[in-house]
Structure 1
Amino acid sequence: MLSTDPQLTELQQRSSLYAGPIPASQVGAVHANLFGAIDSFDELDPVDRIGSALVRHGFKTLDDIPEDVEFLLDVELWDIDDLVLRDLYVDRVERKAREFGGELLSRYRGAGIFIARVRVPGAGLRGLLAMKEVAWIDLPPVPDFAPDAGVDMVVEQLPPIAPPSEAAICIGIVDSGVTAAHPMLQGVIAGTFGVPARLGSDDEKRHGTAVAALASYGSIAQQLHQDTLRPRFRIASAKVVDARGNFDDERTIADLIEEAIRRLHAEFGCRVINVSLADIEHLVGGRPSNWAMTLDNLVRELGVIITVSAGNIIEISQRIEDEGVGIYPQYLLEDDHRLYEPASSVNSLVVGSLAHSNGLMPGEEEHADIVALTAAHHPSPFSRSGPGFGDAIKPDLVEYGGTAVWLGYNSSLSADRASCGILTLNPNYLQSLLEYRHGTSFAAPAAAFKAAVLLEEFPDRSANFIRSLMGLSTDHPEGLFDRVASKNGREHYRHAGYGVAELEFALASDDGRVVMAIEDSLHVNRFAVYEIPIPADFQTVKGTRHIKISLAFDPPVRNSRKEYLGIGMNYRLVRGKSAQEVFDRFRSWSKQEKDEAGGALTFDGQSWLCKMTPLSTMQEAGTLQVGTFVAKRDISEYGDRYYLVVRCEGKWAANLVEQQTFAVAVELWHEAQLDLYQQVAVFLNV
């Protein structure tokens, strides 16, 4: 697009040369590379300058714009380097606004962006749309977050607290300690200790208390609107960093973390443990760290569920000032912004962060230089991205950990405001009981809370079972795709893993959605075949149908080996074949059998294999593998039984491990309102 007359003149001159005779010294026309890439060009009409938000509100043409209705608008001007022209453009916009009784409220120019915020009647909007200095015009972002009134609550205003019972699940927090005397943690803290002991247990870093609160309460903001505060889970805290956030110099991180987790498990019965700490010196990419390997081996040995924060991007303000806010969210996927260790842990649930809002505060409508990067469900501007070790899908999932806004007036990306954070407890409770915090550190305990809810419902089940249900319940919020372009279907997995866990989808089936799950074990280099009933209505009723699979296992690991995982597992969903055919297709055939049969059994074509999203090649590097098969047409030709084949592959641990435990969960869901549960129950005779 051309924003100045000189640029247009130059294009016209080049166009004349292109249309003229071909010089003897050239093979093609002058400027052929330029014009060969252009389909057509024309001047912008006023309607071409109408932004998407205006269109969504019904203002698609000039005739749709009422003359007397007042509009608050962002007028994006052509971003040019000439300082005199920039001032002239803004002056022209201001004069045009005043001509119609409007006003210029503010202006902002950053790298790649030049905005004037105006308030004008509809007639003024029409006038502005006709200006050649204008690139386009749209409604500005609207604040979608109001700080909770409870943030200023004092002790005397606190609702009564009903602490969890002594029989409640205890979540372990490996962090900076906890302020156990906080009034809102009354009856919540089961125990505290330091590793090493000389650290004590108090939260000098002012981090662990905020993390622990979210693990216990789930949502502080929702609790404040209840007559009684009801923290759901008890907390045991292991302090492993000092007041500066540093680990002990005399011991390795792996040693400290292992002692902390073993004590949390042995002394307090913790089966869910949150680690919202990261090593900012080491990115995930090469071999997994000793810290990550320690977590993986403890998950396998102790049967615990460990949630780990993805890590935060510490400083990006200079980049945004130099290159503009348009680099979001692409910069999140750069190599320098990969996950921090220990997020290479394959057996842990690594948790990234989504924005809960656009981060704007009420009353900021007139400030063009306060720029929202996100809307709700977009990747948080600080959340680090995958993939994980071996290109595994990591983070495994995401929760809501806050956002950040660009403050043009001081050239900084800021998240230190109430509208950008998640409400939690303030360790310095004498100053204020509550505060807003942002970061993946505060997304991870939300996942730990959900894991504990599932464990509460299924107390005798394994960590693999809980992880498989967590995976089965995940989904990507629609809003994520408004901001994340997903080339080849991969980018949104790098930002958000398998998505946000929705507990109601994991806790139980309902009439129209059936969940089936099993725990099992397999000998190395063997496979298991599970029959999945496919009700007649699921096959034939018009609409989109889904079969979702979630496999979780906890292999032994060694980072001194070329292959980190000692055991590999994967699954395939087969349709249109008998159980015997499936068994014959996947079993090992002796040479004599192959010779007699003319080769091992194969299936013609690919219709027998249900294509999963994401592809199996993306899933299989991880120990939590979640995929969905979607069919939009009648599938009755494939019968009323599908077969799930789960395979166990021996790697370096093939001679060391006899069996590998795992859990697999399956969900059937049809968009039509069908009574699937009853049909499946009859089929299974339950």
Structure 2
Amino acid sequence: MNPDFPLLSLTQPQTAKRGKERPRLLPLSPEKIQQRKEKADNLRQQVRRISRQLQEMSEEERKAVLIKLEHEQKINLSGTGLKPIAESTQHFTLAVPRTEKLDKLEEKIEEFGEGDLKRGQPPNKDFAYLNTIEEASPQDRLCQVFFEQYDELIQKDWIIFEIEMMSLERGKKQQRQELLKIREEISKLFESGTKGNLFEHEEIKGTCRAVIRCTGEVFQELVEDRKWQTKIVYFDARPAFETFHQTLRNFSVEKLGEFIIPPSDAPMVCIVDSGVTIENPFLKPVVREDLILSFLRTESDKDNPNDECGHGSGVASLASYYALNLYQNAENSGKMWIASARILNKDNEIEDERLFSKILTEVVETFEKIGIKIFNLSLQFINRKWHEEAKRTIPRRSWIARTIDRLSRKYDVVFITVTGNISTSNVKYYYGDGLAYPEYFIDDEASIYDPGQASLAITVGSMSPTTQAVGQITTAMAIAEEHQPSPFTRCGPGINREIKPELVEYGGNYLLDQNGAVRENPGMNVIMASHQLTPAITHKSGTSFAAPRVAHKMARILYDMQSLGFYDISASLLKALTVNSATYPPYYGNFDNFKQAMDEKKPKHWLNVVGYGIPDDIRATECDKYTAILIFQEKIQPNTVKFFDIPVPECLVETPPTKVKRLTVTVVYAPEVQRWGLETYLGTTLKWRMFRGNVDQEEVIKYMSVEEEENDEETGENPKELKFEPGITLRSRGTVQHGICEWKQHKPEYSQNCYTLAIAAYEKWNRENPDPVSYAVVVRLEDTTQTADVYVEVQNIMAQLEVQARSNI
């Protein structure tokens, strides 16, 4: 921060309601229309076969029937007599019949096949994309891990897993009663605990998540018995975590200089992990001893907040120090206070009977009361990858990611999560299959681990800090070059196909031996505190150790903002400032080589590896003579548009026309999220566009006040708007929307008026009176030529706008 050039605030925006226009529907191809009668005949036969089976069943038997529809794209089942039990995937829908026959569905198919064309299109044209309708297999409700291992699982003596139950009743009270009845029925199968137990559970809007331990035989009954098909809609593996346990033996803490505690008013970061060891010399000065708590329930652990496996202590040290200085007489100065929530036992696992989502809720409810804003969750569920194929028949929104999003919004806090790691053995397999770095990043098996896809969290990937290996490395070479993504970092996209991770930090590298072996190396690992008194340090590579470095920088941004007099800082503004500060490594180097290699294989996928870059806590709040940062935070009502005046001064005309001028815009918001599987995940979505000063603002208001088609392509950009990267379609998918516009020649007419930043809010759940949504805006204007007095000019224009705003009140 620079007290001579403080941050500037945007003036209150104008507000306009959005109108609606009919969505533009893509017509069926001539081939689809020509084939419609044959398609309809085929579908009718399938429907009649199911109808005959339903008519022969009792009412109770019909209630247990689950129907699977396979299609080429999502289809609309309104008015068909089928009720989806979850939001459709692109290719599958699971639904239950609401009547004893599927007459309504058959009628709609008949209309599609034989109805008159209107404007060249048949009625109910969605059926052109429907391929099969059949009774679902019980195993369609299994997660990918269970689906692949089912035959082995049913032979086990004991298995522990999570289930998702659903009520089809209409009223809230009736739903709760039915869910209670389902749990009671399941408990009867366990025969007083001899065949199993139902542990912790959590209810949300007609669904219930529960932890179960039972015999393989009972597990098979729950999966295959028809009565459970519409009561238990999903079987999920328990979260499994990655562990580490390595130490450096030639280090002596006595050779170090002074350890300096953080300022008394420095922010706190809560480490949600395996606990911390307060006696470690690096941790003792920075950990709040009264705020290291255990959230375990077993007698041996409930009063023991200490780290017994080493992960949490390492993460905590990086969150406070960013990096440890091990040189002789070196000073180590803690910048942030550390609070700790121990949620993992000595085996690095959650307790059998606990739901991870409920533990997280308990943690946030405990620590947010004392003002903690940032929660670091450097955990990855190594048995839960996040990609389209892993979702199979039911699109999983992840109960845990959903919980993170709900807690983030309810308590206005920030979760820092990780993409997860590709193991050394998997990287070795990639090379063995002919997929070298970075090409293997496009493979589905390199996708992000749950809960890194959480929409409201900041997800962090890893960059390689160095290629300098140590030890016996004659035949080995670093896989990633310096400033390239680490070879183990996993890739997005997130829940809504948005850019994930948003940010990256330095987390290590891998070595590749001449014989094909892949391994870590101490010289390329991250040094951190251990969970012991001696040796006091350890080393490891992983996204787990990149994330706390982002938490560190975010906490420093929070501290700087408070020092500047901004005390009521929303989570959205804190995220926006952090992301807005991010940059990529220098052009024309190793990073550009990586981008080029990725674009040759899958254009723009590199954004799902490195996000928006590496954050810079100094850059986040520091204006200077040539740079102005403008900020704003408030709430936006869905189905409205906000119009901001953005000053881009005419003095830029005098700058060298061959050098870059840059606008960086970050908009972050916190909408309600899907409570179960039938709604669009985000209750409200935002889109922003910017227009130069030579575009009439009334024209902008008219253009932005009309609802756009949901899945528009980049070609939907208005020719008069500024072109930012990423483009509007890609950046608008997430709750963090960041774009950069660079230009060289600034014409006088560009600044004849203020630029206009238009932010439109779209209601997605058809609610009549939805709650307003918290959002924040950060705009950075830079003259990289360091010629124009940007800050003073922007400051003067903002002062004039403030006077005008007050006079209009």
Contact 1:547 1:629 in 2 (8 A): yes
Equivalent of 1:617, from 697, 713, 729?
Answer: 729
Aligned to 2:748: 636
Equivalent of 1:547, from 663, 673, 688?
Answer: 663
Unpaired segments ≥5 residues, structure 2? 1-247, 388-394, 708-715, 801-809
- 1:34-183 alignment runs, 5 A limit: 152-183=250-281
**Whole-angstrom distance in 2 between the partners of 1:468 and 1:491:** 22
Q: Can you list the C-alpha shifts for 1:620-670, whole angstroms capped at 9, x where unaligned?
A: 111001001122223333334210001111111744533111001111112
Aligned to 1:424: 528
Secondary structure, counterpart of 2:496 in structure 1: helix
Aligned to 1:242: 345
Equivalent of 1:259, from 362, 367, 372?
Answer: 362
Aligned to 2:315: 211
**Whole-angstrom distance in 1 between the partners of 2:648 and 2:269:** 39
* Superposed displacement of residue 486, structure 1: 4.0
* Superposed displacement of residue 156, structure 1: 2.3
Equivalent of 2:593, from 469, 482, 488?
Answer: 482
Q: CA 1:207/1:528 → structure 2, altered by over 3 Å: closer, same or farther? A: same
Aligned to 2:189: none
Aligned to 1:556: 672
**Whole-angstrom distance in 2 between the partners of 1:380 and 1:298:** 30
**Whole-angstrom distance in 2 between the partners of 1:475 and 1:621:** 21
> Is 1:381–2:493 an aligned residue pair?
no
Aligned to 1:192: 292
The share of aligned pairs that are identical, in percent, is: 26
Equivalent of 1:290, from 378, 388, 399?
Answer: 399
The range that moved more, 501-510 or 346-355, is: 501-510
Aligned to 2:518: 413
Equivalent of 1:404, from 470, 487, 510?
Answer: 510
**Whole-angstrom distance in 2 between the partners of 1:319 and 1:622:** 33
Q: CA 1:370/1:636 → structure 2, altered by over 3 Å: closer, same or farther? A: same
Aligned to 1:626: 738
* Superposed displacement of residue 264, structure 1: 2.3
1:634 maps to a residue whose letter is H
> Is 1:230–2:327 an aligned residue pair?
no
* Superposed displacement of residue 175, structure 1: 0.4
Q: Can you list the C-alpha shifts for 1:283-318, whole angstroms capped at 9, x where unaligned?
A: 123432110011111111111111001101123254
The range that moved more, 289-298 or 310-319, is: 310-319
* Superposed displacement of residue 464, structure 1: 0.6
* Superposed displacement of residue 401, structure 1: 0.3
**Whole-angstrom distance in 2 between the partners of 1:338 and 1:618:** 18
Secondary structure, counterpart of 1:340 in structure 2: coil
* Superposed displacement of residue 227, structure 1: 5.1
Q: CA 1:635/1:486 → structure 2, altered by over 3 Å: closer, same or farther? A: farther
Q: Can you list the C-alpha shifts for 1:329-373, whole angstroms capped at 9, x where unaligned?
A: 111221011000001211010000010012433885xx2x21221
* Superposed displacement of residue 579, structure 1: 2.8
- 1:578-597 alignment runs, 5 A limit: 578-587=696-705
**Whole-angstrom distance in 2 between the partners of 1:225 and 1:448:** 27
Equivalent of 1:270, from 372, 384, 396?
Answer: 372
1:551 maps to a residue whose letter is V
Equivalent of 2:539, from 436, 453, 458?
Answer: 436
Aligned to 1:512: 626
**Whole-angstrom distance in 2 between the partners of 1:605 and 1:193:** 51
2:351 maps to a residue whose letter is D
**Whole-angstrom distance in 2 between the partners of 1:283 and 1:323:** 20
**Whole-angstrom distance in 1 between the partners of 2:430 and 2:726:** 32
Secondary structure, counterpart of 2:737 in structure 1: strand
Q: Can you list the C-alpha shifts for 1:399-419, whole angstroms capped at 9, x where unaligned?
A: 00000111235x42111x211
1:216 maps to a residue whose letter is S
Aligned to 1:49: none
**Whole-angstrom distance in 2 between the partners of 1:653 and 1:233:** 43
Aligned to 1:567: 684
Aligned to 1:673: 786
Contact 2:496 2:733 in 1 (8 A): yes
> Is 1:530–2:644 an aligned residue pair?
yes
Aligned to 1:498: 612
2:526 maps to a residue whose letter is I
**Whole-angstrom distance in 1 between the partners of 2:580 and 2:611:** 13
* Superposed displacement of residue 235, structure 1: 0.7
Equivalent of 1:319, from 420, 425, 429?
Answer: 429
Secondary structure, counterpart of 2:344 in structure 1: coil
* Superposed displacement of residue 275, structure 1: 0.1
Secondary structure, counterpart of 1:220 in structure 2: coil
1:187 maps to a residue whose letter is P
**Whole-angstrom distance in 2 between the partners of 1:679 and 1:355:** 40
Secondary structure, counterpart of 2:260 in structure 1: coil
**Whole-angstrom distance in 1 between the partners of 2:451 and 2:354:** 17
Aligned to 1:393: 499
Secondary structure, counterpart of 2:678 in structure 1: coil
**Whole-angstrom distance in 2 between the partners of 1:629 and 1:473:** 15
Aligned to 1:64: none
Contact 2:256 2:329 in 1 (8 A): no
Contact 1:465 1:552 in 2 (8 A): yes
Q: CA 1:572/1:151 → structure 2, altered by over 3 Å: closer, same or farther? A: farther
Secondary structure, counterpart of 1:389 in structure 2: coil
Aligned to 2:27: none
**Whole-angstrom distance in 2 between the partners of 1:394 and 1:605:** 23
Contact 1:570 1:647 in 2 (8 A): yes
**Whole-angstrom distance in 2 between the partners of 1:344 and 1:249:** 24
**Whole-angstrom distance in 1 between the partners of 2:357 and 2:766:** 22
Contact 1:556 1:653 in 2 (8 A): no
Contact 2:660 2:744 in 1 (8 A): yes
**Whole-angstrom distance in 2 between the partners of 1:273 and 1:471:** 17
Secondary structure, counterpart of 2:642 in structure 1: strand
Q: CA 1:494/1:529 → structure 2, altered by over 3 Å: closer, same or farther? A: same
Q: How many residues align?
A: 514
**Whole-angstrom distance in 2 between the partners of 1:562 and 1:658:** 17
**Whole-angstrom distance in 2 between the partners of 1:635 and 1:548:** 19
Aligned to 1:132: none
* Superposed displacement of residue 237, structure 1: 0.7
Contact 2:469 2:522 in 1 (8 A): no
Unpaired segments ≥5 residues, structure 1? 1-149, 590-603
Secondary structure, counterpart of 2:742 in structure 1: strand
2:696 maps to a residue whose letter is S
Q: CA 1:608/1:225 → structure 2, altered by over 3 Å: closer, same or farther? A: farther
**Whole-angstrom distance in 2 between the partners of 1:235 and 1:214:** 10
2:443 maps to a residue whose letter is E
Contact 1:241 1:247 in 2 (8 A): yes
**Whole-angstrom distance in 1 between the partners of 2:717 and 2:608:** 32
Contact 2:309 2:531 in 1 (8 A): no
> Is 1:469–2:577 an aligned residue pair?
yes
* Superposed displacement of residue 182, structure 1: 0.5
**Whole-angstrom distance in 1 between the partners of 2:367 and 2:327:** 29
**Whole-angstrom distance in 2 between the partners of 1:666 and 1:232:** 27
**Whole-angstrom distance in 2 between the partners of 1:605 and 1:467:** 26
